[in-house]
Structure 1
């Protein structure tokens, strides 16, 4: 193994260790504790830590610098986290937060088709499937429900204590699916993306919990 390959393997591990903080399928999940809490709440310090450590890696990934990572499930997951999650942390509230969604979704769809999601833990697969949930395409949303449903079923075998967390994730996926089924897009993105909001969307956005 040459030095470049060794560095890239270490970078994949660094991204995954930073994001998952050592949790496994054996970990008892508490969504109010870290790292679970940090994944889905706005935290300026967490965003800054990502900016300091990984923004250069995201830029490199966008230009295809890490194509070798696609040879392993862990490498693909690291790329998806860069494109789908870190983009949202780094560019929160701007159109750039969504720019890498097509790259993430392409990796997710290929990984499912090739079975490269299967070696990952259930928690890791949540984030491999997250680009499905973020898609504004109805057929992709249907696949999202299928994938998150599998996680619920498999968690019953691996760690029944964590079933509620995977059911929660499936419920969240269903909320996304329902919005896309209704509007063909996520109305809460309209302002950021300079899209006109329809009267029906305005009524919807006035409701509590309409945004993610």
Structure 2
């Protein structure tokens, strides 16, 4: 297990903004190698001290919300297994104003657990926070937040998680997948904004 400083150094400096949202097998493997035991400690409730200060909470959110998605990419339910704890930790930190103690672009990791939530109120709140607290840097994140919210408005869940979570697809979700899934939603929003 590593400490929060190592998590932040790796994610913020080594991977950096250019690599945060790329599907890169080498980065995913490196995260598994370096941080699996840290993720397991978080899963087992062993990182509670990280949640007592802003940068520790940021590291905790990266481990539980971001590393989960990297380590268990491609139809593995563990990718979403820490979403509830990441969501709760993010909300506590935001209420304390700790997100504002972290410079952008790293501040976005306080809001992504809300974007990843299958709850419409969380989706709305994510958009408000990006607009209010990251107005200069939130552009691409705001677009994705709007797309995530639209998916939740339409289905009440993210259909592209169904296989990983052993959920049955509805007819409308099958049609959505055939139409292009999330990419289709993203293009629709971009078209509306350009009009």
Shorter-chain TM-score category?
0.7 to 0.9
Any stretches of 5+ residues in structure 1 without a counterpart? 1-6, 23-33, 156-162
TM-score for the superposition, normalised by structure 1? 0.81
- How many residues align? The count is 183
List per-residue Cα deviations over 1:35-55 (Å, max 9, x = no partner).
323211211110111111111
Deviation at 1:145, TM superposition (A): 0.7
User: Are 1:13 and 2:14 counterparts?
Assistant: no
Instruction: Give the C-alpha shift of residue 185 in structure 1.
Output: 0.5
Please give the root-mean-square deviation of Cα atoms over the aligned residues, in Å: 1.8
- The question of whether the paired residues in 2 share the 8 Å contact of 1:152 and 1:170 is answered with no
* Structure 2 residue aligned with 1:196: 168
- Runs of 4 or more above 4 Å deviation: none
- Map of 1:45 onto structure 2: 26
Deviations 1:118-142 (A, max 9, x none): 1011211111111000000011111
1:49-60 to structure 2, matched below 5 A, reads: 49-60=30-41
Q: Which residue of 2 aligns with 1:183?
A: 155
Name the counterpart of 1:91. Answer: 72
Where does structure 2 lack aligned partners over 5 or more consecutive residues? 187-195
Task: Output the TM-score relative to the length of structure 2.
Answer: 0.88
User: Which one of the candidate residues 45, 65, 77 is aligned to 2:58?
Assistant: 77
Report the equivalent of 1:65.
Answer: 46
Paired residue secondary structure (1:195):
coil
Q: Whole-Å Cα distance in 2 between the matches of residues 35 and 119 of structure 1?
A: 19
For 2:189, the equivalent position in structure 1 comes to none
